[in-house]
Amino acid sequence: MERMRFGIVGTGRISDWVLKGAVMEPRFEAAAVCSRSEEKAREFGARHGIGKTYTSVEEMAADPQIDAIYIGTPNHTHHDLAIACMKQGKHVMCEKPLASNAREAEEMAAVARENGVVLMEAMISTLSPNFRNVQGKLPEIGTPRHYNAAFCQYSSKIDMLRRIVSGEESAPVPSSFNPDCSGGATQDIGIYTIYPMVTLFGEPSSVKADAVTMEVPVGGEMKKIDIHCTAQFSYPGMTASVTYSKIADSRLRTEITCDGGIISLDQIHISHGAEMIRRGAPTSGRTSGPQSVDISVPCDADEYLCEFTEFIDVVQSGARESVNNSLANSISTARVIDEIRRQAGVIFPADL
């Protein structure tokens, strides 16, 4: 069994979370960590038993003792960091969203191909065992007619953000709400509803977004960012809709309505269970319909494990792309998000 030596970029909470799952993959080895601060790199290294630290991504990427890089930094940094690593011949697993916009995602995909390395977006939803099971069973229940997904989570940062906007607090706007960091609800959580839709059904032919936005103080001016949205999509013979929010919660299941029945997941971000209802004889009025069948499969020991298993499988198989988290899916998703942002009037510096 060949181990893959990873360098970790960024010492925020997401790097802590993913490492907890990554270390359960026997082929994973955390070989180095890179932070903008030597002190933070050493603290992170001590927490995770990583001895080697860097404060320069370029230097870490040049290290011949490292095979792959995980990028866990804000969205606006992904493009340049990933390209710097790939140009040194490193495989890259990059946090979602892959990039600020589709143009950047296309440039990153081109650099991956030119350098013969794997670039994979760390999109957990489409790699989780229950999603994959549903994906495999979908052809059993006929033609899909509607996809409906929701991911609404009252953000732990929204109250602070409101205090920043009102001037009660002087902290910087968190990256997930900061247009200069390519943040916002669509990039942060809407993507968990859109990427699976694109993986299952491809890129929609039309997008209609109804977004709630707010103005946040960034770089001495007020800039618009999206915080909640419902979007509708068209496909040949089917429709789709997603709702995501950082200002409200939802417990809605993700449902795919087909002409032969319904298949659903408990939640789209990280699914833990799935159900299927085969249509049976047509019913009307008060007649009860067919019963649902539990089609759940066991979850992994940790939610982030699947990303590392997939990534290492792809690299070691000699393939250069994941099938579910393909570069085409990442680029199509970025195009959909670009269109939602265009309709919402949310502009990033990376777009200009």
Ligand X SMILES: NC(=O)c1ccc[n+]([C@@H]2O[C@H](COP(=O)([O-])OP(=O)(O)OC[C@H]3O[C@@H](n4cnc5c(N)ncnc54)[C@H](OP(=O)(O)O)[C@@H]3O)[C@@H](O)[C@H]2O)c1
> Which residues of this protein are in contact with ligand X, per CB under 6 A?
10-14, 35-37, 40, 72-75, 77, 95-96, 122, 124, 175-176, 188
Determine the Cα–Cα distance for residues 127 and 134; give it in Å rounded to an integer.
11
CB of 44 to ligand X, least distance (A): 7
Which run of H or E residues covers position 83? Answer: helix 78-87
Determine the Cα–Cα distance for residues 298 and 311; give it in Å rounded to an integer.
20
CB of 192 to ligand X, least distance (A): 9
CB of 128 to ligand X, least distance (A): 11
Does residue 97 have a cis peptide bond before it, meaning omega lies within 30 degrees of 0?
Answer: yes
Kindly tell me which of 190 and 261 has the beta carbon lying closer to ligand X: 190
Determine the Cα–Cα distance for residues 44 and 328; give it in Å rounded to an integer.
34
Kindly tell me which of 77 and 330 has the beta carbon lying closer to ligand X: 77
The total number of residues written for the chain in this structure: 352
Local structure of 249: helix, strand or coil:
coil
Kindly tell me which of 20 and 137 has the beta carbon lying closer to ligand X: 20
Which run of H or E residues covers position 216? Answer: strand 206-218
Kindly tell me which of 127 and 262 has the beta carbon lying closer to ligand X: 127
Q: Which residue, among 180, 174, 166, has the nearest Cα to 246 in the 3D structure? A: 174
Determine the Cα–Cα distance for residues 155 and 184; give it in Å rounded to an integer.
11
Kindly tell me which of 23 and 138 has the beta carbon lying closer to ligand X: 23
CB of 219 to ligand X, least distance (A): 13
CB of 139 to ligand X, least distance (A): 29
